[in-house]
């Protein structure tokens, strides 16, 4: 970041309501070039400014800087070797909550894992292992499907789902998946049309789990029946584990759909930008 003195920064901000559009755009460009490190200064200026025009400009600048940071983080995540799921969901979460700390999310997820782990025994059969996870997540901790506000953007925000205990199929599956992974279980996401589910898939056994329906266990034949009911031709990918990238893409598409329902076109455009970052790998 180019070093500017507080006086120089103050002078720049004071020009944000300049009637000359060229001056204003130059100032905006200059501030944007300073990067996310300038956000705390801008927020402070917003609080002390009595000029609504400048406050509005500052809000837009802060959003642009935060969105640029999010895009940079998403590119780094896409290009990382392991594409850690929790990190990816945290990056997505910062779209609505830019100040959300990864460690806070990590600690909350660890607490859920700990609750499951204390009830868990590794020598149990797969179905019994899943029964225990289901019991802790859906009975003890009371996670459930957000059927009332199914299209709310909050359903795609892990922090909101952890707070409200209500989510859509993909966020509930993600919580389940993160816990199962820590327990060392062969549980993965499955990209089924209209419904995201999980599969328990080992050398000896394969079955499916619907986290949106309290961890209901079902079979490959049930998926065939479901697809037949929707008049969708079965494809192998509807039965097989998907990658973390697919989970993030599906979460972003859900979010775009939620903003579309709310008529928030600029947000839909921004989410489309994030989707194209992940698609251009």
Q: What does the pLDDT look like over 123-162, one tens digit per residue?
A: 899 999 999 999 999 999 999 998 888 789 999 999 999 9
pLDDT band at 20 (very low <50, low <70, confident <90, very high): low
Domain boundary among 32, 48, 79: 79
Per-residue burial over 46-63, b if 16 or more Cβ lie within 10 Å, else e, is: beebeeeebbebbeebbe
Q: What is the pLDDT of residue 15?
A: 66
Do 29 and 73 belong together in one domain?
yes
Q: Give the residue carrying structure tokens 């997540």.
A: 137
Q: What is the pLDDT of residue 18?
A: 67
Do 64 and 107 belong together in one domain?
no
Q: What is the pLDDT of residue 1?
A: 46
Compute, in degrees rounded to 10, the torsion defined by CA atoms 64, 68, 70, 74: 150
Per-residue burial over 86-120, b if 16 or more Cβ lie within 10 Å, else e, is: bbbbbbbbbbeebebeeeebeeebeebbeebeeeb
On whether residue 257 sits in a domain, the answer given is yes
**Mean pLDDT, rounded, for 252-272:** 95
Do 66 and 47 belong together in one domain?
yes
Do 60 and 133 belong together in one domain?
no
On whether residue 145 sits in a domain, the answer given is yes
Domain boundary among 21, 53, 79: 79
Domain count, the chain: 2
On whether residue 64 sits in a domain, the answer given is yes
pLDDT digits over 207-259, tens only?
999 999 999 999 999 999 999 999 999 999 999 999 999 999 999 999 999 99
Do 23 and 45 belong together in one domain?
yes
State phi, psi for 280 to the nearest 5 degrees.
-90, 65
Portion of the chain with pLDDT greater than 70, in percent: 97
Domain boundary among 79, 98, 123: 79
Query: Terminus-to-terminus CA distance in the chain, angstroms?
Result: 28
Dig out the tokens for 39 from the structure. Answer: 């956000």
Measured CA to CA, the distance from residue 202 to residue 191 in angstroms comes to 18
Q: What is the pLDDT of residue 22?
A: 78
pLDDT digits over 38-76, tens only?
888 888 877 877 778 778 887 888 888 899 999 999 999
Question: What mean pLDDT is reported for the chain?
Answer: 91
Residues facing residue 190 across a β-bridge: 197
Do 51 and 178 belong together in one domain?
no
Domain range for 62 is: 6-79
Do 246 and 160 belong together in one domain?
yes
Do 130 and 151 belong together in one domain?
yes
The DSSP element (H or E) to which 189 belongs, if any, is strand 187-192
């Amino acid at each position: 970041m180019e070093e500017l003195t507080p006086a120089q920064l103050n002078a720049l901000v004071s020009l944000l309501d300049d009637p000359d559009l060229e001056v204003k755009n130059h100032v905006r460009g200059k501030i944007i070039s300073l990067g996310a490190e300038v956000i705390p200064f801008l927020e402070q200026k917003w609080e002390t400014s009595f000029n609504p025009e400048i406050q509005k400009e500052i809000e837009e600048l802060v959003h642009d800087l935060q969105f640029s940071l999010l895009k940079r983080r998403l590119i780094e995540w896409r290009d990382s070797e392991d594409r850690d799921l929790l990190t990816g969901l945290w990056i997505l979460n910062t779209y609505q909550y830019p100040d959300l700390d990864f460690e806070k999310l990590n600690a909350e997820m660890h607490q859920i894992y700990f609750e499951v782990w204390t009830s868990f025994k590794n020598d149990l059969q797969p179905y019994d292992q899943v029964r225990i996870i289901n019991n802790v997540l859906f009975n003890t901790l009371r996670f459930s499907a957000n059927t009332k506000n199914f299209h709310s953007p909050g359903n795609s925000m892990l922090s909101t789902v952890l707070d409200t205990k209500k989510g859509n199929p993909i966020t509930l599956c993600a919580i389940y998946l993160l816990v199962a992974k820590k327990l060392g279980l062969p549980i993965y996401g499955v990209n089924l049309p209209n419904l995201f589910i999980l599969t328990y898939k080992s050398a000896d056994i394969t079955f499916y789990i619907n986290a949106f329906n309290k961890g209901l266990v079902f079979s490959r034949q049930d998926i065939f029946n479901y697809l037949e009911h929707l008049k969708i031709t079965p494809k192998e990918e509807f039965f097989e584990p998907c990658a973390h990238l697919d989970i993030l893409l599906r979460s972003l598409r859900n979010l775009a759909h939620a903003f579309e329902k709310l008529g928030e076109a600029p947000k839909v455009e921004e989410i489309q930008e994030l989707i194209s970052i992940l698609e251009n790998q």
